[in-house]
Amino acid sequence: MGPYDMPMTLVISDTFTDSLARLTGDEQKLAKTTAFDLQLDPSGSGMSFHKLDRARDKRFWSVRVSSDVRLIVHRSEASLMLCYVDHHEAAYRWAERRKLETHPTTGAAQFVEVVERVEEVKVPQYVEGPEPRPALFADVTDATLLGYGVPPDWLAQVRAATEDTLLDLAGHLPGETAEHLLRLATGDVQPLGEAPLPTTDPLGHPDAQRRFRVIANAEELQAALEYPWEKWMVFLHPTQRACVERTYSGPARVAGSAGTGKTIVAIHRAAHLARECPDARILLTTFSEPLANALEVKLRRLLSAEPRAAERIEVCALDAVCDRLAGRVFGPVRVASRDEIESALEDAAREVAGLRFSAAFLRSEWTEVVDAWQLATWDAYRDVARLGRKSRLPESRRRELWDVFDRTRARLAANGLVTRADLYTRLADDYNSGAPPPYECAVVDEAQDIGVPQLRFLAALAGNRPNGLFFAGDLGQRIFQTPFSWKVLGVDVRGRSSTLRVNYRTSHQIRVQADRLLEPSLRDVDGNEEDRRGTVSVFNGPAPSIAVAATTFEEMQKVGEWLFGLAAHGVEPHEMGVFVRSYAEMDRARAAVEAAKLTYRVLDDGVETKPGHVSIGTMHLAKGLEFRAVAVMACDGAVVPLQARIESAADESELEDVYNTERHLLYVACTRARDHLLVTSAGDASEFVDDMRT
């Protein structure tokens, strides 16, 4: 018989899922079986419970999982909480140093680490010179610190924190407390403006819901335990939850730098709409097929116990949606390939005498202006705003260009070809004319890289319908599309935009170094600003390394030694990624992995990571992935930014955009790393790498 006989609620803590993910596969299976047994009978009848007499919190018990593995539970008359699982001694030590408390000011339940003396918090001191660093919160009142969720026992330690010790101290504090203190230390003087109000339900408090979840049935427990490393399936930050559950009067957007959980919000938003609107058809989409595939995997995991909600959400890349709907509405069509369009442009250009424009300019003007905005007449092209392009063309030269584009349109039509931009526009016109749209709501991830025709289609699909359009994206990760005005197409997110500021994926050290690649504040064409300042990472890690080798062979050796050392310290091959700018540099990545005596898998548009293999690929394919360790190789001055893109820029504006997107691309690659980052070059390093070192 267990220690209690009465029915009780089962609660799962994020500390349990964290510890579960660190066990071996066989140990995880045994721990999950024990958890399911407790779900069926929280009283623990027939199970081996042991009261932890040395624990400060006398409600901690251990449950036998195997001869050496113990599950730590917290037992009250009303609930049984799964807290931690590990080998015998480690599990006991964890429980002996913690207690579950309700914070006296906020009312949130939180695990509090027990500290007898300030000296017990071992924090490294990096002091330059004889003068000690000043205490950051010496003048902050106890009432204010308690309002941030600081446990009363930790007030003295927090008040003594300096710039050198704060990050290490943060690892001992509840998550919301660490975030508030980090933001306060970085100049955000009103962190409590986003703090939830106190509540009488300790587990129902928004801060508690980010780390504790009441499990209603076996299906919920199975979903929580199936993928313990994907905590977002079970726990959400209060700011994320607010974005997910808010009712919007029109198009809405959530922004945030890499690692802040925008994709997670998008997935939960689609699931929330499916639950709240049982008759709605919902599209969860993005600009590329690999990213759409990743979204579908995550959504199916989230809704594994809710098949009725899942079946009303379609997950598909935008171009695939366009092709399918166009085929249904207009019948069979032939979409022109890039080569067919370029061939038509070249043929048309040869027919216009005295043309003084390069092939690169013609391609750019066709793609970004004529085709994107579907300009079908000379008058439309003559009068169109230049949309940020700095080429100031007199009417006579525009007329020359229009002769080329008009002939190009005619050639494509004569060959029975249409462009995908044309299909998007025709579908948008159809829905704007009253045809019933196939979806009531659309949730769009990586929205910074959708184009003009795609946004026109989405605007017609869901328009200004309440909750109709929801976008997640980051201007700092725009690597495919040139900027354009959303408002011109009827999509205005002003007043319905939110920014996530807590980075879960990337260590403080990596985030700070990668952020040097971008401006602290980015603004879109419509004037909407994304301020990256105030973003915090809630965990520490080793400083990133930058290595400039004399030769490609030396670079390969350095990266190989780095990977070999990580593997020797327990980083699994599938937890490592090696990225280069283009396929031309791929041999350097292969050689580095081979030098580490590891096996690799080359990523392509349809391949995910593979257990036992290091992932190698181009920086573009790093999008949407994450690894414990990332090496970004071949960041040579002639490679990043890519010389071919610089030479093909049509005008000054396009050249500026090339530099911006190349900078963003390096940022994307670097921020795939959680704990370890190495950036290398052979010969002269890219100017962007120099920026990271300043």
pLDDT tens-digit readout, 205-251? 988 999 999 998 888 888 888 888 788 888 899 999 999 999 999 99
Residues 6+ apart with CB under 8 A from 98: 55, 56, 57, 60, 111, 112, 113, 114
155 domain residue, yes or no: yes
Q: What is the pLDDT of residue 5?
A: 46
Helix H or strand E segment including 640: none
d(C-alpha 63, C-alpha 36), whole Å: 13
- Residue with the larger pLDDT of the pair 605 and 301: 301
pLDDT one-digit tens code per residue, 152-180: 999 999 999 998 888 889 889 998 899 88
Q: Tell whether 6 is covered by a domain.
A: no
Whether residue 411 is found in the same domain as residue 428: no
Asked if 489 and 561 sit in the same domain, the reply is: no
Exposed, middle or buried, 397 (CB in 10 Å: 0-12/13-18/19+)?
A: middle
Within a domain: 99: no
Q: Does residue 476 sit in the same domain as residue 435?
A: yes
Last residue of a domain, one of 484, 499, 531: 531
Last-in-domain residue among 418, 439, 460 = 418
Q: Are residues 493 and 515 in the same domain?
A: yes
Structural domain ending residue among the three candidates 469, 502, 531? 531
CATH of residue 496: 3.40.50.300
- Summarize the confidence of residues 486-494 as an average pLDDT: 93
Q: What is the pLDDT of residue 532?
A: 84
User: Same domain, yes or no, for 392 and 408?
Assistant: yes
Contact 441, 283 (CB under 8 A): yes
Please write the tens of the pLDDT for every residue from 241-288. 999 999 999 999 999 999 999 999 999 999 999 999 989 999 999 999
User: pLDDT class for 131, splitting at 50, 70, 90?
Assistant: low
Distance CA 419, CA 594 (A): 43
Query: Averaged over 630-656, what is the pLDDT?
Result: 87
Q: How many CA atoms lie within 13 A of 290 on its CB side?
A: 13
- 207 belongs to a structural domain: no
Radius of gyration of the chain (CA): 28
Same domain, 554 and 580: yes
Is the C-alpha dihedral spanning 13, 19, 21, 25 positive or negative?
negative
List alpha helices for 608-651, DSSP H. 643-648
Q: Mean pLDDT over residues 410-431, rounded?
A: 96
**Domain co-membership, 382 together with 434:** no
Task: Please state the domain count of the chain.
Answer: 4
Note the pLDDT of residue 645.
86
pLDDT of residue 109: 94
pLDDT digits (tens, 9 = 90+) for 32-45: 999 999 988 776 66
Q: What is the pLDDT of residues 352-391, one digit of tens each?
A: 988 888 888 899 899 999 999 999 999 999 888 765 555 5
pLDDT at 87 over 70: yes
347 & 258 share domain: no
> Does 315 reside within a domain?
yes
Lowest mean pLDDT among 466-475, 601-610, 676-685: 601-610
Other CB atoms within a 10 A radius of the CB of residue 689 amount to: 22
Say if residue 688 is in the same domain as residue 571: yes
Q: Confirm whether pTM is higher than 0.85.
A: yes
Residues 572 and 671 placed together within one structural domain of the fold: yes
Q: Are residues 602 and 681 in the same domain?
A: yes
**Phi/psi at 61 (5° precision):** -130, 155
Give me the pLDDT at residue 378, please: 95
Task: Judge if 578 and 665 occupy the same domain.
Answer: yes
Dist. CA 219–CA 373, nearest whole Å: 48
Domain span at residue 366 reads 337-418
Q: Which residue, among 58, 173, 176, 171, has the nearest Cα to 108 in the 3D structure?
A: 176
Which helix or strand (DSSP H or E) is residue 13 part of? strand 9-13
* pLDDT value of residue 124: 46
Q: What is the residue-averaged pLDDT of the chain?
A: 89
Provide the Cα torsion 16, 22, 26, 27; round to 10°: -50
Q: Is residue 537 part of a domain?
A: no
| 554 inside domain | yes
* Predicted local confidence at residue 1, as pLDDT: 38
> CA-CA distances (angstroms) from residue 273 to 76, 656, 676?
35, 40, 37
Reported in sequence order, the residue ranges of 400-559 that DSSP labels E, i.e. its strands, are 417-418, 441-445, 469-472, 497-500, 502-503, 521-523, 529-531, 536-537, 545-549
Question: Is 457 within a domain?
Answer: yes
